[in-house]
Every structure is written in C-alpha cells, then in structure tokens.
Amino acid sequence: MSILVVGSVAFDSIETPAGKRERCLGGAATYFSLAASYFTQVRVIAVVGEDFTAEQEAVLTSRGVDTRGIEHASGKSFHWTGSYLKNLNEAQTLKTELNVFERFTPQIPADYRDSEFLFLANIDPSLQEQVRRQMTAVRMVCGDTMNYWISGHAKNLARVLESLDTLLINDGEAKLLGGDPNLLCAARKILSMGPKSLVVKHGEYGATAFFGQRSAIGNGGAIAPFRSPALPLAEIVDPTGAGDSFAGGFFGHLASQPAVTLKAFREAMFYGGVMGSFAVERFGTDRLQSLTRAEIDQRFSLFREMSHLE
Amino acid sequence: MSILVVGSVAFDSIETPAGKRERCLGGAATYFSLAASYFTQVRVIAVVGEDFTAEQEAVLTSRGVDTRGIEHASGKSFHWTGSYLKNLNEAQTLKTELNVFERFTPQIPADYRDSEFLFLANIDPSLQEQVRRQMTAVRMVCGDTMNYWISGHAKNLARVLESLDTLLINDGEAKLLGGDPNLLCAARKILSMGPKSLVVKHGEYGATAFFGQRSAIGNGGAIAPFRSPALPLAEIVDPTGAGDSFAGGFFGHLASQPAVTLKAFREAMFYGGVMGSFAVERFGTDRLQSLTRAEIDQRFSLFREMSHLE
C-alpha cells in the first residue's frame, strides 16, 4: 500500500560531538520517506527551493520514493541549523530559515489521491489539516507535532488530533500536550482529544504505545500499553531525524501488512526503533540510504532477542 | 535457596506529592527482604536501635524473613528524611541520621553461613567486603552502591566490584561509575572492573542488563543486552525503595530457580520490575506487606504482554 507523506524536505547544518556537517539533506519528510521506503511505496508532498539539486532528489528517487509531489519554488530551501554539543538527547536550534517553506501550500497530485496511508509530519497543523481533509479515502492517518504547535496553535492542532489514528510524539511533547507530568495520565488526556492510539518515543529508552477505547485494533476492549526497546549504541553520531525514521519504520511496516492488527502494530513499534537506531549511526541520511532489508530484519531479530523472555 | 542480605533496616520520613509519612519502616534491606520473600527464604543482617519495636520486626517475620541477624544496639535506629516534591524520579535527602548504623560491624550468625545467594545492599563498601569475604561458599553475589561511595570510596568499592556476579545500579550511578555519559560505554567499563553482569535501572523506563565476557550464563559467548519494561502508573505514591524492591524480585526469582540460566536471568529482570511497580503504589512498605503470589504472577503476565510481539 502507498503512504503519502507531507512535511519538510530541507537542508540541515548540524554539529554533534562526532563532528560537523553543513547543508546535509534533511527534513522530516526526507527521513520518513527513506525509512519507510524499505517497507512500501512512498509519495512525498513538500516544497524545495532552487538550491535543491537533481542529485539530492535522486537520494529519494533511487530508493523508489515518488517525488512528483515535491514543488520546486523560486528562492531557497528550508534550512535548519542545530547543535547537539550540549545535549545529545535534545537539539539546540541555532537558526531556522523557513525560506520557501514560509509560503508552502500543499498540492496533492491526482495520482497521489488513492494513497491508503497518510503521514502528517511535523508542520503547521493548518497545513496538516488541509491535506488530511483532501484525503478522504485513506485507511489510516498518523501524525507528528512539536512543542511550538502545541503551545501556540492549539486550536488548529485540536482539529488535526480529532482525525488521527495514531499520534507519534516524544515524552516532552506528550507531557506538554496532555498537561500532566505523569506519562500515563498525559496519554489518557491525549487519547481523549481524538487519536485512537498514541506512540510516545523515549529516545534511548525505546517507546510506549497507548490505545484508546476507539482503537479499531482492539475489538473495542481495553488494550494494555506496549513497550518497544531501543538499541544501546556506543556512539550516537547524529540524532537528527531519529524520530522521523522511527515513524517511517513504524508506518512503513503497517502499510506493508494485509491488515492493521495488534500484532502488526507491535511489530511496527519494533521496526520504528530499528530504523531510528540506524539513522543515528551516521550523519544526516547517510545510513538510511545504504541499508539492506536483510540488515533491517537482522536488527529486528536483535530487538526481539533483547526484549523477549525466550 | 536462601538469600543472605546485608544492609539498612531503618526509619524513613518521606514527603511526596501524594502526602507525608513520619518514621515508616524502611531501609534497603527491608524493601529487598520483603520483595524477595515472595520467592525464597531471606536472612537479614542489619542493626537497629532501641526504637525498633517487636511490631516492626513482625513486618519481616510475618513474611517468613529470618531476622536473627538483626543486631539490637543501644541508641536510635538509622533515620532518613527525604522529599520527592521537586522530582518524583530523584529523592532529595533532607536529613540522614546514621545513629546505630555509624558503628555497624556486620556479624554473620553461624546458621546463615550456608546461604547460597548473597545480596550486598547499598552500604559502605568496606562493610560489603567484610561480609563478602566471610561468605566463601556462595553461588551468586549481587550488590548495589550509590554516588557517595563511587565518588568518595573508590578503592574499597573496587574490591567489592571484583567479587560481584551482578551489580544493580541506576542510570546516573552507572554513568558516574563508568565515567562515560553513554550508557553502553559506561557499562563496558564497569564490566571491565569485575562484575560479570550489570543491571541498570531506568525508573519508569524499565531496566537494561549488560553481560561481560566472564558471565557464566552465556557459555563464554557474547550476550546481547536485555531490556525489561516498567509499568506505566497513573500515580507514584512513594518512590522510596523501588530500586531495592527491584533487586528483591530479581534476586529472589534467581534464587528460587534450579539454575542461573539466561532465561532465569531475563525472567528475574521482569520480576524485578514487577516488585518495583508494586512498591511505589503505596507509602513505605505497605504494598509489599500485603501482596499475594497470584497478584505478582498476574503482573508478570502483564509485563510480558506489554513487551512481547505475540
């Protein structure tokens, strides 16, 4: 099944304890697409500027990602500058140059409209909603957001949340959105806002899924939370894109399965962790460009061995 | 098999967002013993003062814990005063009154010497070593420590570490002891100091076990880390003793098994999380006094359901 993703395709200038890179290919939609491309067909909606070259587009197309929905606008591409020197677990944003992203109005190519899975990456919730409303036939919608939208665009975000099957955010975002320092209480509050399920990413500690009463996969009954592990790594070269890679592995696996069952959802959590663990091993999207499905499945087996009693 | 534990039996005065308690029964050996008592026979070595009543001793003996090794000294019992008002994940120590603990010299009753399992709770490493040296026939030794001993008593601690099968500490302690902010690198460093395996507790995120090359349970081969979950709880009434209860469930299960296999070790990690999750549900040792084995095994099943793909 095809996934349609809307989000940023951008340039990142990054400094981490492992080194420094200027203007690597980045953006949530880029990381998501590359990670999901190992599982299923991916179609991207984004905007780039004149500085986005054929070589950069080929990073996506060589992985089979459909880039016809990437609009080429006059001006410069979105450029994010960040540092992880103070804290590997949280990026410090040094500069955000929105450039062409400032006037982005997502256009959905006619050929994209039959996509059955929709991922709303972390962008302005009013844009997320625009895309969501036009995709009337989708089977499953996942979305991401961040503190900036939670604090400053709550009303628009609320409309997006109502229409989500799964919200994927991190601990801090969940506690802010749920208005509670206790994760379970925050999760319950968030599930009451609309999403049928919630996946909270804990970085090096894995992730937890919470399911609401409306969750289709539970046959109406209450489902216990589900915890997936993360891989202890001796070096995190570049944490950028780990969350989007998690989302790509998660949603990519779900879209590749015959049905969204609880078993498929659990496996998807593991594949999310697997893709996140690869993403941080090298700068930018380097590692996600060069994987094989065998490497992915081998690491999936390791995740299972790391967390299962037998 | 019997576990011998040496550590503190004390009074705790605790303030948490859920309320306040004065002089509840506490101490690492108390939490450990109660948690382990659901799995196997436990013998305690500790010292208490004249303020320790028969009623308090009965909390332990009514769970079948052998308290003949608790020395009754003149003076007052160890008394810890702490607060979790600022941070539920980390106690703020307001007062430490060592009292009779200041002159504690562990005496091992003759009847205790055939104990096959030894737990060295968090006390002065020179006392841990004294006990360790006298218990020459033990099959497995686990130990705990804390920042105070890591920073200020490194030499004495080093001798204890050399003799441990498993060291159980939390994230911050592991990073301090290993001298590395990366958990895997810190774990490798710690394993090079002597312990055959290391269990790092992550609070609400569960725990991770790391195994050294000397680990007897791996048949000499390298063993991947193992991650066990923690239960998302809507309310943490009192975090005091969660780590010691984890240790009690962990070691209690291992001591109850015919052999310390990798499978038993993994199950022990789960039972550790289970006992920790019960401990924090009520103030002090209240919850650990009133459990049934059926409740424990039911929660073990929940931990499995929460973390296993099928």
Chain A residues with CB-CB distance to B206 below 8 A: 205-206, 227
A282–chain B Cβ distance below 8 A for any pair: no
Chain B residues with CB-CB distance to A206 below 8 A: 205-206, 227
What mean pLDDT is predicted for residues B184-210? 96
pLDDT at position B100 over 80: yes
Total number of residues shown for chain B: 310
Higher pLDDT, B42 or B1: B42
How close does chain A come to B175, measured CA to CA in Å?
Answer: 13
User: Which of A208, A271, A307, A310 to substitute to test the interface with B, most B CBs within 10 Å?
Assistant: A307
How close does chain A come to B222, measured CA to CA in Å?
Answer: 13
Higher pLDDT, A216 or B234: B234
Q: Which pLDDT band, with edges at 50, 70 and 90, does B215 fall under?
A: confident
B227–A225 CB contact, under 8 Å: no
B226–A266 CB contact, under 8 Å: no
A78–chain B Cβ distance below 8 A for any pair: no
Chain B residues with CB-CB distance to A189 below 8 A: none
Domain count, chain A: 1
Whether the Cβ atoms of residue B93 and residue B80 lie closer than 8 Å to each other: yes
Chain A residues with CB-CB distance to B227 below 8 A: 206, 229-230, 306-307
Mean pLDDT of chain B: 95
Give the pLDDT score at A29. 98
B232–chain A Cβ distance below 8 A for any pair: yes
**Dist. CA A47–CA A52, nearest whole Å:** 10
Of A91, A162, A95, A98, the C-alpha closest to A124 is A98
From A20-29, A85-94, B53-62, the region with the lowest mean pLDDT: A85-94
Q: Which pLDDT band, with edges at 50, 70 and 90, does B108 fall under?
A: very high
What mean pLDDT is predicted for residues B1-14? 97
Chain A residues with CB-CB distance to B204 below 8 A: 183
B189–chain A Cβ distance below 8 A for any pair: no
Give the pLDDT score at A219. 57
B309–A267 CB contact, under 8 Å: yes
Give the pLDDT score at B1. 87
Chain B residues with CB-CB distance to A253 below 8 A: none
Give the pLDDT score at B271. 98
**Dist. CA A67–CA A57, nearest whole Å:** 8
CATH number, domain containing residue A259 = 3.40.1190.20
Residues A88-122 have pLDDT tens digits of 888 999 999 999 999 999 999 999 999 999 999 99
Give the pLDDT score at A216. 67
pLDDT at position B142 over 80: yes
Q: Which pLDDT band, with edges at 50, 70 and 90, does B221 fall under?
A: low
A263–chain B Cβ distance below 8 A for any pair: yes
Write the CA distances from A260 to A43, A78, A257, A272, integer angstroms: 20, 34, 7, 15
A227–B307 CB contact, under 8 Å: yes
Residues A71-80 have pLDDT tens digits of 999 999 999 9
Cβ contacts of A3 within 8 Å, gap of 6 or more: A36, A40, A41, A42, A43, A115, A117, A118, A119, A251, A252, A255
Mean pLDDT of chain A: 95
Q: Which pLDDT band, with edges at 50, 70 and 90, does B220 fall under?
A: low
Chain B residues with CB-CB distance to A270 below 8 A: 309
How close does chain B come to A27, measured CA to CA in Å?
Answer: 26
Judge residue A208's burial from the number of C-beta atoms within 10 Å of its C-beta, 0-12 exposed, 13-18 middle, 19 or more buried: buried
Of B16, B13, B11, the C-alpha closest to B239 is B16
Of A221, A220, A214, A225, the C-alpha closest to A161 is A214
Residues A173-228 have pLDDT tens digits of 999 999 999 999 999 999 999 999 999 999 999 999 999 987 767 555 678 999 99
Q: Which pLDDT band, with edges at 50, 70 and 90, does B122 fall under?
A: very high
A223–chain B Cβ distance below 8 A for any pair: no
Of B208, B270, B302, the CB nearest to A309: B270
Residues A280-299 have pLDDT tens digits of 999 999 999 999 999 999 99
Chain B residues with CB-CB distance to A304 below 8 A: 309
Of A180, A119, A128, A118, the C-alpha closest to A149 is A128
pLDDT at position B217 over 80: no
Give the pLDDT score at B213. 82
Of A183, A263, A306, the CB nearest to B226: A306
Whether the Cβ atoms of residue A193 and residue A167 lie closer than 8 Å to each other: no
Give the pLDDT score at B275. 98
pLDDT at position B218 over 60: no
Of B185, B230, B309, the CB nearest to A234: B185
Chain B residues with CB-CB distance to A298 below 8 A: none
Of A202, A206, A232, the CB nearest to B184: A232
pLDDT at position A166 over 60: yes
In this structure, what token pair is assigned to residue A74? 């006059």
Helical (H) or strand (E) element with A293: helix A293-307
B307–A184 CB contact, under 8 Å: no
Q: Which pTM was predicted? A: 0.95
Give the pLDDT score at B222. 78
**Domain interval for residue A191:** 3-307
B139–chain A Cβ distance below 8 A for any pair: no
